[in-house]
């Protein structure tokens, strides 16, 4: 199978500003790949180049082997885009928008697919409503239906849950999981790093136009974060000064001592390091590192 998406030494300049600086990555078949970064990092510029809304200053992008600059029609037919911005289709209703979008791809009789998407995305009862009458959440669902109406094997999701409520966000992520199970390859940008951690097989972190880190989500978390261990001793027990001198000890608050240890360090190793017996423990809490912790470690940014 061809590589769904290949970005090779991509550069995009806006005058003297380099928005995308020599970025390279590939999307594997059937995976969800998260492209993460602060606002202005270059994520949307990359997506705009993939779908030919922008031209690269240099470098190449291929969709299933089709160069997006030289083979636009074939590349676009294999790609679906859910843009960050809500698009107003004026006085057309939902059903008409999907029908027109099918025609854009040369699909003249696509009712079965259109009706499936209307049902799956909770739009069937609203199919005769004008787009201008829809809530922001329904407009977001319509964008997803539009992106999938021609059955593209590659789906680009640029902040797909921006501005939607928690219930709809969970529903959309469930749908993304279904699409992955169906074999779609998905490129996702999102500010919800907890959700990216659950959804993405791999992530790339971009900052100031450059790809700072790339790898399996679990691997990045393991390599770049620490495990937080909270120990509470039985009544009468205390963490002695020599134990507080441990490089892993952070603070004591409310009778609970916090230690930050390498993600692969076992609890028994920590207890041995600080010379505490299991029998002295009243309570133990362990908090694993997260993708947000890894993100902050990479870019030094707070979300």
Q: What percent of the chain has pLDDT over 90?
A: 61
Distance CA 107, CA 159 (A): 28
Pick the residue with more confidence: 164 or 261? 261
Q: Answer whether residue 265 shows pLDDT above 90.
A: no
The whole-number average pLDDT for the span 90-98 is 90
For residue 5, what is the enclosing H or E element? strand 5-14
In this prediction, residue 238 carries a pLDDT of: 63
In this prediction, residue 303 carries a pLDDT of: 46
pTM of this structure: 0.86
The whole-number average pLDDT for the span 134-162 is 92
Beta strand 32-36 with 185-189: parallel, antiparallel or unpaired?
A: parallel
In this prediction, residue 240 carries a pLDDT of: 67
Mean of all residue pLDDT scores within the chain = 90
| Three-state secondary structure call for residue 227 | strand
pLDDT band, residue 279 (cuts 50/70/90):
confident
In this prediction, residue 302 carries a pLDDT of: 42
In this prediction, residue 247 carries a pLDDT of: 85
Order of strands across the sheet with 5-14?
A: 17-27, 5-14, 58-63, 66-67
pLDDT band, residue 239 (cuts 50/70/90):
low
In this prediction, residue 241 carries a pLDDT of: 63
Per-residue exposure over 87-126, b if at least 16 CB sit within 10 Å of its own CB, e if not: eebeeebbbebbbebbeebeeeebeebbeebbebbebeeb
Q: Answer whether residue 301 shows pLDDT above 60.
A: no
Give residue-wise pLDDT tens across range 19-61: 999 999 999 999 999 999 998 899 999 999 999 999 999 999 9
Give residue-wise pLDDT tens across range 75-93: 999 999 999 887 777 789 9
pLDDT band, residue 295 (cuts 50/70/90):
very high
């Amino acid at each position: 199978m061809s590589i769904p998406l290949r970005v090779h030494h991509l550069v995009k300049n806006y005058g003297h500003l380099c928005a995308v600086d020599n970025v390279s990555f590939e999307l594997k078949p059937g995976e969800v790949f998260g492209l993460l970064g602060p606002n202005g990092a270059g994520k949307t510029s990359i997506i705009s180049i993939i779908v030919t809304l922008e031209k690269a200053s240099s470098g190449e992008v291929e969709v299933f082997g089709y160069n997006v600059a030289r083979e636009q029609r074939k590349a676009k037919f294999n790609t679906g885009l859910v843009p960050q911005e809500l698009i107003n289709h004026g006085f057309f209703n939902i059903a008409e928008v999907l029908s027109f979008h099918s025609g854009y791809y040369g699909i003249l009789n696509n009712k079965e697919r259109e009706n499936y998407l209307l049902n799956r995305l909770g739009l069937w009862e609203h199919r005769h409503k004008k787009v201008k009458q829809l809530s922001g959440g329904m407009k977001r669902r319509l964008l997803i239906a539009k992106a999938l109406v021609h059955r593209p094997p590659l789906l680009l999701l640029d902040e797909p849950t921006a501005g939607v409520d928690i219930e709809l966000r969970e529903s959309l992520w469930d749908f993304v999981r279904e699409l992955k199970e169906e074999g779609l390859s998905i490129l996702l940008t999102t500010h919800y790093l907890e959700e990216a951690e659950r959804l993405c097989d791999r992530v790339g972190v971009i900052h100031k136009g450059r790809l700072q880190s790339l790898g399996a989500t679990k691997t990045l978390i393991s390599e770049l974060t620490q495990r937080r261990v909270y120990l509470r001793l039985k009544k009468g027990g205390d963490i002695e000064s020599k134990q507080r001198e441990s490089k892993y000890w952070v603070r004591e608050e409310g009778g609970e001592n916090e230690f930050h240890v390498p993600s692969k360090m076992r609890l028994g190793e920590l207890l041995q390091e600080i010379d505490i017996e299991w029998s002295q423990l009243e309570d133990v809490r362990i908090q694993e590192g997260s993708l947000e912790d890894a993100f902050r470690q990479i870019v030094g940014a707070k979300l």
